[in-house]
């Protein structure tokens, strides 16, 4: 600010001399003074632009440093929740396929927490504070790389889509809980930790409870897809951010779980087998 004031004062002084030269008809002097004034104005603008560019670069660096940390945390959160959705869905499938085998159902009923996620959705939300800020404030414009801006927009869109599905799935889980509550054996162990077992043999004989478990399996499948896709776009954005600011986790290839967008709430037939294989791998 002080430099700009000094530059303005110098330009005003030059203008005063130019006016004086006009009054004295000193045309060579007028030409020289006009050139000096023009160069001074251009120099002042250049200095101001240089300072503005430095401020913007510093703001972008600070913003990307924060985004780098946020995306890393979000990837860890999504990896954890994706694994839980996969395990819950796999347990549903295993128990349902054994519905005509009492000994197999007795074995899975004895397993602690086997299928106990049927009546709930993971409480962990999405680490989306920074992306909400992006949308609300327009701060995304300070990111110079257009491809990185596009990937950050994709993250915000994927998270908004997954949050909408999560809210809907939580509403449905209330109905599921009412349908299967009588088949859940909940308690506390000696250390005060919660315990849970499912009476699968009795549950699967109840058509209402059985239908509730099938719906819950579908909801966990949908959340698996939403979380997995969000994790994919997060990983791509994190990778590009790391490369932009020179972090050691800048990689040439980012492993993808889904690799495509599942736009509908139904799993495309050609991807059902892929989902099942991945869910088993994540068990």
pLDDT digit string (tens) for the chain, length 283 residues? 555 556 566 655 666 665 665 566 555 666 766 677 677 777 777 777 776 667 777 888 888 888 888 888 888 888 888 888 888 888 888 888 888 888 988 888 888 888 887 777 775 555 555 556 655 666 677 777 888 888 888 888 888 888 888 888 888 888 888 899 899 888 888 888 888 888 998 998 999 998 888 888 888 888 888 888 888 888 888 998 998 888 888 876 677 777 544 443 344 444 444 444 444 333 3
Closest CA to 205 of 77, 59, 98: 98
Query: pTM above 0.75?
Result: no
At residue 184, the 3 state secondary structure works out as: strand
Q: What is the 3-state composition of the chain as percent helix, strand, coil, each rounded to the nearest 5? A: 75, 5, 20
Sequence-ordered list of residues with C-beta below 8 angstroms from that of 181, at least 6 positions apart, any chain: 119
CA distance 131 to 143: 13
pLDDT at 274: 45
Return d(Cα 240, Cα 246) in angstroms, integer: 10
């Amino acid at each position: 600010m002080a430099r700009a004031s000094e530059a303005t004062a110098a330009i005003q002084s030059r203008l005063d001399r130019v006016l004086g030269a006009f009054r004295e008809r000193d045309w060579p002097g007028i030409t020289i003074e006009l050139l000096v004034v023009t160069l001074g104005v251009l120099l002042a603008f250049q200095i101001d632009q240089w300072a503005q560019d430095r401020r913007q670069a510093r703001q972008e660096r600070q913003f990307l440093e924060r985004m780098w940390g946020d995306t890393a945390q979000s990837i860890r959160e999504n990896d954890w929740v994706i694994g839980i959705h996969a395990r819950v869905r796999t347990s549903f499938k295993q128990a349902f396929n054994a519905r005509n085998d009492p000994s197999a159902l007795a074995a899975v009923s004895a397993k602690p927490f086997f299928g106990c996620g049927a009546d709930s959705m993971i409480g962990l939300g999405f680490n989306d504070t920074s992306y909400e800020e992006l949308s609300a404030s327009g701060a995304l414009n300070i990111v110079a790389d257009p491809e990185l801006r596009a990937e950050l927009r994709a993250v915000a869109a994927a998270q908004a889509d997954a949050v909408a599905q999560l809210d809907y799935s939580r509403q449905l889980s209330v109905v599921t809980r009412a349908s299967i509550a009588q088949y859940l054996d909940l308690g506390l162990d000696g250390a005060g930790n919660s315990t849970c077992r499912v009476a699968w043999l009795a549950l699967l004989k109840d058509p209402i409870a059985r239908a509730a478990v099938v719906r819950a399996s579908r909801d966990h499948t949908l959340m698996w897809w939403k979380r997995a896709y969000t994790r994919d776009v997060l990983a791509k954005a994190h990778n590009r951010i790391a490369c932009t600011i020179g972090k050691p986790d800048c990689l040439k290839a980012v492993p993808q779980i889904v690799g495509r967008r599942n736009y509908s709430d139904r799993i495309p037939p050609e991807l059902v087998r892929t989902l099942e294989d991945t869910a088993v791998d994540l068990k």
